[in-house]
């Protein structure tokens, strides 16, 4: 609370008194449930991670979005260094004959 930053990218916790007439105060159990539920949905993102769009060659409905190169490699059970080569354009064609990757600004 002392840092003044968002917790889990959504909650701002503070001990400061709000100067407003319309306050809806939560009891401790409600705050606890809110934090637990938010934490279960939260994905930890490394600050340097870049979102990646994995496009399937023949079927756009199979396209996938990933938070990072690591999460993509885990999902495809592939090697990060090889996938990075396709991302940077150092390797031609499609990864495993099916996938093309691009860095994207996504809401992940």
Q: What is the pLDDT of residues 19-47, one digit of tens each?
A: 777 777 778 898 888 888 888 877 766 67
Mean pLDDT along residues 2-15: 75
Res 108: pLDDT = 40
Looking at the DSSP bridge assignments, the partners of residue 11 are 7
> What is the C-alpha end-to-end distance of the chain, expressed in Å?
26
Count the Cβ atoms, other than its own, within 10 Å of residue 95.
Answer: 19
Res 42: pLDDT = 73
Res 106: pLDDT = 43
Q: Where are any strands of DSSP class E within 35-98?
A: 52-56, 64-66
Percent pLDDT > 70 in the chain is 89
- Residue 72 · residue 101 · CB < 8 Å: yes
Domain ranges, ordered by start, for the chain: 1-42, 52-103
pLDDT band at 83 (very low <50, low <70, confident <90, very high): very high
């Amino acid at each position: 609370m002392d840092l003044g930053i968002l917790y889990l990218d959504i909650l701002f916790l503070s001990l400061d008194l709000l100067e407003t007439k319309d306050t809806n105060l939560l009891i401790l159990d409600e705050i606890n449930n809110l934090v637990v539920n938010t934490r279960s949905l939260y994905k930890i993102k490394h600050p340097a991670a870049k979102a990646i769009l994995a496009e399937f060659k023949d079927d756009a409905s199979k396209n996938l979005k990933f938070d990072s190169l690591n999460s993509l490699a885990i999902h495809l059970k592939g090697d990060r260094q090889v996938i990075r080569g396709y991302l940077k354009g150092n390797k031609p064609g499609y990864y495993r004959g099916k996938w093309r990757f691009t860095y994207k600004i996504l809401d992940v």
